[in-house]
Amino acid sequence: MTPDQGSPEPAGPPSASLDTLLSRCAGGDRTAFQTLYTALSGRLYGLAMRLLREPQLASDAVHDTFLQVWKECGRFDTSRGHAEAWITSLLRYRSLDILRRRGREVPGERTGEEADLSPGPLEALISTREGEALRQCLDQLEAGQRKLVLLSFIDGLSHSELARTLQRPLGTVKSLMRRALLGLRRCLET
Amino acid sequence: MSDSATAPAGDEQDLLAAEYVFGLLCADERSVVERDAARDPALAAAIAAWERWLLPLTRLVPPIPPPAALWPRIEASLAAAAREQPAAAPPPPTQPPPAPPPAPPVARPVRRWQVAAAAGYALAASLAAFAWLRPPPPPPVATALAPLPAHSPVFVAELLPHGGLLVRPSGAVHVPTGRDLQLWLLAAGATRPVSLGVLPPAGVRLPPGSLPPDASGAKILVSLEPRGGSPTGLPTGPVIGGGSL
């Protein structure tokens, strides 16, 4: 049986309902697990496609992510956790594992043009309070730093891929990225 | 990985956490961070903070409906894992869910299906996103390679007089289909174990020279790996037993 593929809301599914679904999964409720899949699979598959570019690899990443969710849902701690952040992180890390293991750090494979760096898409962050805070902090970065942050996070580029994409020395990219991350953290903490 | 030339020491951990969350680290570096964060609540908290801060960025990527075959594939994988689980195996100890499940009472076969999924799919990112999870119970410390779950293999490791190492089973050993056990040496003060090779269920005798001259304080660990051993040179599956020499 294949769940319907509804389009999630821009701000994502309510975290409280995801927490409830995870709690039910922890009790072995397969219906809740399927509902969780319906709520998140479109968003996760889109992210995986963005990172991996190949439908089969993206399917593998989403498949593995949901198996891991089923495996670990009993340990998910709602007092510490944010369900969507947890599951999204699982997906990103699984995708990054696949990327790194396939050795796709080949010049020219990833152009870096996919990350839309114009102000328009970043305005979409305003749809949530957390998103608005992040957008303000990204705005405080220099344009070059902001580009590094987005290319890295959204398209999964490593230090060396960033260096090749931007045709900058690796040391320079690492230094720029460190300054960007420090600036971003100081802003986000306030 | 980060250098410490431009950031105060207090920032280094946060930078490392950020580099991990962004995906800037290579596979080996990611493994080290995951292992460290599993033991260091401050590092785990820093990772969790970055994951939550950056979540809105993931919503900038348009959703794409997954292939219709994906959900049946997930169901089939879980069902296949359930079939691999020995019928007599009881569910492992688990902590109760954070809220009472509104679903009907849990049937034991369903729970076993869930447990089997865990046993059958030790994912490469098995420690990933750990910051949101309750910590697992601490492993026992013993000279024997003591098991964690009730049905894990049990081994005893003995340093031989001439310098070799004998690892022998002290009970029935069951290794899941398609998997192998692997033996590791974690030197005192080291953060990365060194492989001592695949561990057959019948045990193994390692010749002199397999261990460093001074192995005092080192730990012997056993992990569950894909057939033939870890493809990465570091444990990829759960560490199911260990003890200090």
- Assigned CATH for A10-104: 1.10.1740.10
- Sole residue written with tokens 């879980």: B78
- Sole residue written with tokens 């902001």: A146
3-class SS of residue B198? strand
Instruction: Tell me the domain boundaries of chain A.
Output: 10-104, 113-190
d(CA A78, CA A18) in angstroms, rounded, equals 10
At B101, the pLDDT band (50, 70, 90 cuts) reads: very low
Which is higher by pLDDT, B165 or A109?
B165
Preferred mutation among A21, A51, A67, A79 to probe B, highest tally of B CBs within 10 A? A67
Contact B199, B183 (CB under 8 A): yes
**Structure ipTM:** 0.83
| Predicted local confidence at residue B8, as pLDDT | 52
| Predicted local confidence at residue A7, as pLDDT | 40
| Predicted local confidence at residue A44, as pLDDT | 97
Contact A55, A14 (CB under 8 A): no
Q: How far is CA B220 from CA B33, B140, B198, B204, B214, in A?
A: 21, 13, 13, 13, 14
Does residue A128 come out as left (phi exceeding 0), alpha (psi in the -120 to 50 range) or beta? beta
Q: Under an 8 A CB cutoff, do A50 and B15 touch? A: no
Domain B144-244's class? mainly beta
Q: Find, in chain B, the residue whose alpha carbon is nearest to that of A86.
A: B129
pLDDT beyond 50 at A179: yes
Mean pLDDT, residues B68-97? 67
Mean pLDDT, residues A154-162? 87
| Predicted local confidence at residue A97, as pLDDT | 86
| Predicted local confidence at residue B233, as pLDDT | 84
pLDDT beyond 90 at B85: no
Q: Which of A48-52, B194-198, B237-241 has the highest mean pLDDT?
A: A48-52
Chain A: closest CA distance from residue B172 (Å): 26
| Predicted local confidence at residue B164, as pLDDT | 73
Counting residues of chain B whose pLDDT is more than 70, the rounded percentage is: 62
The CATH number of domain A113-190 is 1.10.10.10: yes
pLDDT beyond 70 at A132: yes
Preferred mutation among A97, A125, A154 to probe B, highest tally of B CBs within 10 A? A97
Q: Find, in chain A, the residue whose alpha carbon is nearest to that of B135.
A: A75
At B97, the pLDDT band (50, 70, 90 cuts) reads: very low
At A182, the pLDDT band (50, 70, 90 cuts) reads: very high
pLDDT beyond 80 at B133: no
Mean residue pLDDT across chain B? 70
Closest partner residue to A68 (CB to CB) among B110, B111, B123 is B123
pLDDT beyond 90 at A32: yes
pLDDT beyond 90 at B36: no
Please, how many CA atoms are within 13 Å of residue B116, restricted to the half-sphere of its CB?
A: 22
Vertex B54, ends B51 and B55: CA angle to 5°? Answer: 80
Which is higher by pLDDT, A17 or B137?
A17
Contacts of B2 in chain A (CB under 8 A): 178
Q: Under an 8 A CB cutoff, do A92 and B58 touch? A: yes
Chain A: closest CA distance from residue B66 (Å): 6
pLDDT beyond 90 at A55: yes
Q: Which of A61-65, A79-83, B156-160 has the highest mean pLDDT?
A: A61-65
